[in-house]
């Protein structure tokens, strides 16, 4: 007579599922903390400037290089020259944030390649910010791993219950 059951018992499955949930919760809390650390360690309102930055201007608007900074905020353009060094007045262009557009849609003084000077501010990443960002990217592989482990645990429970019911189920002889 077989008296000892092998495999995972249903009572043991609760512990495995709770452990998986705690690991997932720890990963989520870690990502939230690292995200907060990444934001709080930035140096905000760092001053920068575009000096004689070459911009090929269109009527739809062309982003200036300052717009590619984190949290960019471009100030008012101070000077605009075309490639032949003619100064352009404000009637020839419009500035919307960090975008420069040709207002007239015409080639002004023979060129749409303009040299622009303007101030801007941005958020500068520190070493702690970069370390936090790298850790967040590394954590991005864990949700798939947690899902895989959860699936394996679930299948183990189902197979264990089925095997236990077939092998140890049924009528017992006298």
State residue 172's pLDDT score: 57
Identify whether 113 is part of a domain. Answer: yes
Say yes or no to pLDDT of 166 above 90.
Answer: no
Identify whether 9 is part of a domain. Answer: no
Question: Do 53 and 86 fall into the same domain?
Answer: yes
- Look up residue 65 and give its DSSP letter: G
Identify whether 168 is part of a domain. Answer: no
Question: Do 83 and 144 fall into the same domain?
Answer: no
Question: What's the token pair of residue 3?
Answer: 């008296």
Q: Which conformational region is residue 20 in: left (phi greater than 0), alpha (psi within -120 to 50 degrees), or beta?
A: alpha
Question: Do 90 and 148 fall into the same domain?
Answer: no
Say yes or no to pLDDT of 173 above 60.
Answer: no
Question: Do 108 and 147 fall into the same domain?
Answer: no
120-131 pLDDT, tens digit each: 999 988 898 889
Least confident of 12-16, 61-65, 91-95, 150-154: 12-16
Neighbours of 168 (CB within 10 A): 13
Question: Do 67 and 96 fall into the same domain?
Answer: yes
Question: Do 30 and 87 fall into the same domain?
Answer: no
Question: Do 29 and 50 fall into the same domain?
Answer: no
Q: Are 74 and 81 in contact (CB under 8 A)?
A: no
Q: Find the domain containing 132 and state its range.
A: 23-42+126-154
Among candidate residues 122, 114, 112, 137, the one with its CA nearest the CA of residue 34: 137
31-67 pLDDT, tens digit each: 889 888 888 888 888 899 999 999 988 888 899 998 8
Question: Do 117 and 70 fall into the same domain?
Answer: yes
Question: Do 136 and 113 fall into the same domain?
Answer: no
Identify whether 18 is part of a domain. Answer: no
Say yes or no to pLDDT of 76 above 80.
Answer: yes
Q: Which residue has the tokens 């189902």?
A: 158
Three-state DSSP class for residue 38? helix
Identify whether 8 is part of a domain. Answer: no
Question: Do 135 and 80 fall into the same domain?
Answer: no
- Supply the pTM of this predicted model: 0.56
Least confident of 49-53, 141-145, 162-166: 141-145
């Amino acid at each position: 007579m077989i008296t000892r059951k092998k495999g995972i018992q249903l009572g043991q499955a609760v512990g495995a599922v709770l452990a998986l949930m705690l690991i997932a919760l720890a990963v989520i809390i870690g990502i939230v903390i690292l995200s907060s650390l990444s934001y709080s360690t930035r140096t905000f309102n760092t001053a920068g400037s575009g000096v004689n930055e070459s911009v090929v201007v269109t009527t739809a608007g062309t982003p200036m290089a300052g717009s590619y900074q984190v949290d960019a905020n471009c100030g008012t353009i101070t000077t605009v020259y075309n490639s032949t060094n003619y100064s352009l007045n404000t009637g020839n262009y419009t500035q919307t944030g960090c975008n420069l557009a040709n207002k007239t849609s015409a080639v002004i003084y023979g060129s749409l390649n303009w040299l622009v000077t303007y101030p801007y501010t941005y958020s500068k990443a520190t070493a702690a910010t970069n370390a936090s960002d790298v850790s967040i990217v590394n954590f991005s592989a864990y949700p798939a791993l947690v899902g895989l482990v959860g699936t394996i645990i679930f299948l183990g429970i189902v197979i264990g219950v089925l095997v236990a019911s077939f092998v140890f189920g049924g009528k017992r002889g006298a």
